[in-house]
Copies of this chain bind each other. A is one copy, B any other.
Amino acid sequence: MTSRPESARAGRPATMSDVAARARVSRALVSIVFRDQPGASQATRERVRQAARELGYAPDQRARLLSRRRSGLLGVQFAVEHPFHGELVEALYTAAEARGYELALSAVAPSRDEERAVASLLAYRCEALILLGPTAPDGRLDALGQQVPLVVVARNLRTEQAEVVRTDDEDGARQATQHLLALGHTRIVQVDGGGAPGSAERRRGYRAAMERAGLATQVRVLTGGPTERDGLDAFVRLAAEPADPQGPRRPSAVVAFNDRCALGVLQAATQAGLQVPTDLSVVGYDDSRMATLPWVDLTTVRQDVAELATLAVARAVARIEGPPGAASLLTPPRLVVRGSTGPVPRPA
């Protein structure tokens, strides 16, 4: 960055004309130099850059975007409250840069809904939109996809109008369940994500693993959600059920929708006097920072953030440059085994 403009020239920042005048060349030449285009001698380039430095000049992005045939912008919608989105944003920056695009960020927050976020991105004439875990209805996304090249990340969507990039959640849930099965568990319940993106897939994965193990009758899905509260409530409800001597015994393992949900389950279990993993094994999803904390030490399923970001940008670019050939790309998840899972407890 320029460190200090020598001439604050009437308060306004220096323009290309200022640089051109000082370097005694045309404005076009300055443009050529700053875009690293052929058409200027080495000596002139140096002269222009020097003049720019002296004036503290940096090209005006607004003008640049306006006059360029293409804006070179990728609009990213993310939820400010979601650490996972934060990781994605970072990875998107590097992925976009590698392909010569810039990112325009627009946050979603309780007080700022997706419509507003998208409208603002569209107003900047982004060439494509990358939405992280959007909650808008399918129809809305479909319509949006007709308007602008669209990539939906971490959410399933069946449409020709958008690219979908997500982790293979079904596989992830399957891996989590199989891990528990391998430890000898049979009474495994799932606390699902309610209406959160990915819920249906993770339910399917859990169910598939159970059925494959011949435990179809043991399948049990509790309604949960993406927050600690959801996990806690679900487990409290479970624990409150009257113990039926003839009925099935209490579950020995829980597959939670995500790490936050798993934390809620852990809390409820602890309050109910259960030891983890001695009395109960718990698996989360996301491998968030909290999962790695020593006293949480949660077995979980890791999504490949860098891969998701790279794919998202690649698909966005493909949609921008080529005809809309919608694809749905799945990234493989990876089980991370930690201390919250252990062998099935012996019946007392």
- Do the beta carbons of B60 and A62 come within 8 Å of each other? no
Task: Tell me the chain A residues, 57-103 only, with Cβ under 8 Å from chain B.
Answer: 58-66, 71, 80-81, 83, 86-87, 89-90, 93-94, 102
Cα A324 to Cα B127 in complex, Å, equals 38
Q: Which of B3, B65, B228 contacts A143 (CB 8 A)?
A: B3
Min CB gap A284→B, angstroms: 14
Contact-residue bracket for chain A: 35 or more
Min CB gap A329→B, angstroms: 23
Task: Tell me the chain A residues, 140-175 only, with Cβ under 8 Å from chain B.
Answer: 143, 146-147
- Do the beta carbons of B93 and A86 come within 8 Å of each other? no
Task: Tell me the chain A residues, 310-324 only, with Cβ under 8 Å from chain B.
Answer: none
- Do the beta carbons of B93 and A107 come within 8 Å of each other? yes
Min CB gap A82→B, angstroms: 8
Min CB gap A280→B, angstroms: 15
Partner-binding segment picked from A109-117, A198-206, A209-217:
A109-117
- Do the beta carbons of B61 and A123 come within 8 Å of each other? yes
Cα A294 to Cα B83 in complex, Å, equals 20
- Do the beta carbons of A271 and B290 come within 8 Å of each other? no
Cα A343 to Cα B238 in complex, Å, equals 35
**A276-290 vs B: 1/0 string, CB under 8 Å?**
000000000000001
Q: A3-B143, A80-B87, A267-B293 are in contact. List 14 more A-B contacts (CB 8 A).
A: A1-B118, A4-B143, A4-B147, A60-B125, A62-B62, A62-B65, A62-B66, A81-B83, A81-B87, A81-B90, A89-B107, A93-B111, A267-B294, A271-B294
Chain A to chain B: the 4 pairs with minimum beta-carbon distance, closest first = A90-B109, A61-B123, A80-B86, A105-B105
